Amino acid sequence: MKMPPLTHYPFPDNTYDTPPDTTRYPIDRILFGARVGFLVNLPRIVTTGNKLSARGMFDKYVFARHAYEVMSAVEHSGGRIHIEGIDHIRNNEGPFVVVSNHMSTLETFVFPCLFNYYHDITYVVKESLLKRKGFGEIMRAIGAIGVTRQNPRDDFQRVMSEGETLLHAGRSIVIFPEGTRHTVFVPKDFNSMGVKLAKRAGAKILPVAIKTDFWQNGKVIRDFGPFKWGTPIHMKFGAPMEIHGNGAEEHDWIVNFIRTSYLSWGGEVREG
């Protein structure tokens, strides 16, 4: 079972761009652009993670390696990744509440290789995901917070209570305030749960803007849709900030950070 921990941080600069000489999986080149290489490698990576989780061996460095292998598989399947603001992760002490817009499965898989060498992240996820074979074992191993999305009040209280405990224990938490994946950014759907959790726990909030529609949502299996060839993958990390007052000013700043970043990448923002 091969998945050594990530023993060095693979992003030495403030920005990262997929090297232009990154090659496609040989089988994909033979099959004229198919993603067979990715579909072979992803189950292998997840299965290894599951086995390590069951043995209590899935620490933050192994999680970082797991995420880095997925990122590499995306790049060897034609994905071209562009990341900005890495120094905000590397040069700031956590824990953080990490808030991001949400487009695809890609950001959930890839974030740990950016964060976990310096921090230790978990997620707020659908409770049903924790019960699912495959990625669910990994989410349980990292102590992810499950929400039902059926009772907003109960979900809010769970995130506030469990989130505060995790943050005080030094664990950073990733929240996707939109609740589900969107192909456009709708500011009014980006709720303030992350800001409220950061204020309650006395933690800083770290904003992220992403455009990851290279990995599209599937019609049959939503998590594993097709790849949209030629569509760049963008991630931009903002500076961590403290929450003052009721957090409205910080929330507005985060929404505008995502809006302006997303527009600069050619994304659609739907106001109103």
- Per-residue pLDDT tens digits for 3-12: 556 778 999 9
pLDDT band (50, 70, 90) for residue 37: confident
Per the domain annotation, does 213 fall within a domain? yes
Average pLDDT value over all residues in the chain: 90
The answer on pLDDT for 33 being more than 70 is no
Q: How confident is the model at residue 50 (pLDDT cuts 50, 70, 90)?
A: confident
Q: What is the CATH number of the domain that holds 257?
A: 3.40.1130.10
Instruction: Say yes or no to pLDDT of 223 above 80.
Output: no
pLDDT, average across residues 203-232: 87
Which pLDDT band holds residue 135 (cuts at 50, 70, 90)?
confident
Question: For residues 165 and 10, what is the distance between their CA atoms, to the nearest angstrom?
Answer: 30
Task: Give the pLDDT band of residue 221 (cuts 50, 70, 90).
Answer: low
What mean pLDDT do residues 197-217 have?
96
Which residue has 């929400």 as its token pair? 147
**Does residue 200 form part of some domain?**
yes
Instruction: Quickly state the pLDDT bin for 70 (edges 50, 70, 90).
Output: very high
- Structural domain includes residue 20: no
Residue 34 pLDDT > 70: no
Q: Domains in the chain: how many in total?
A: 1
Tell me, yes or no, whether 71 lies in a domain. no
Give residue 133's pLDDT. Answer: 72
What span, in angstroms and rounded, lies between the C-alpha atoms of 171 and 112? Answer: 12
For residue 6, tell me if it sits in a domain. Answer: no
Token output for 180: 């589900």
**pLDDT the model gives residue 1:** 43
**Which residues, in sequence order, are CB contacts of 177 under 8 Å at separation 6+?**
99, 190, 191, 192, 193, 194
At CB < 8 A and 24+ separation, what contacts does 136-142 make? 137/49, 137/50, 137/53, 137/54, 138/46, 138/49, 138/50, 138/53, 138/58, 138/63, 138/66, 140/53, 141/53, 141/58, 142/58, 142/63
Contact 53, 138 (CB under 8 A): yes
Q: What domain range is 182 assigned to?
A: 81-264
Q: Is residue 189 part of a domain?
A: yes
Residue 76 CA neighbour count, 13 Å, CB half: 17
Span 243-256, pLDDT tens digits? 999 999 999 999 99
Give residue-wise pLDDT tens across range 74-117: 999 999 999 999 999 999 999 999 999 999 999 999 999 999 99
pLDDT band (50, 70, 90) for residue 39: confident
Q: Determine, yes or no, domain membership for 76.
A: no
In-domain check, residue 10:
no
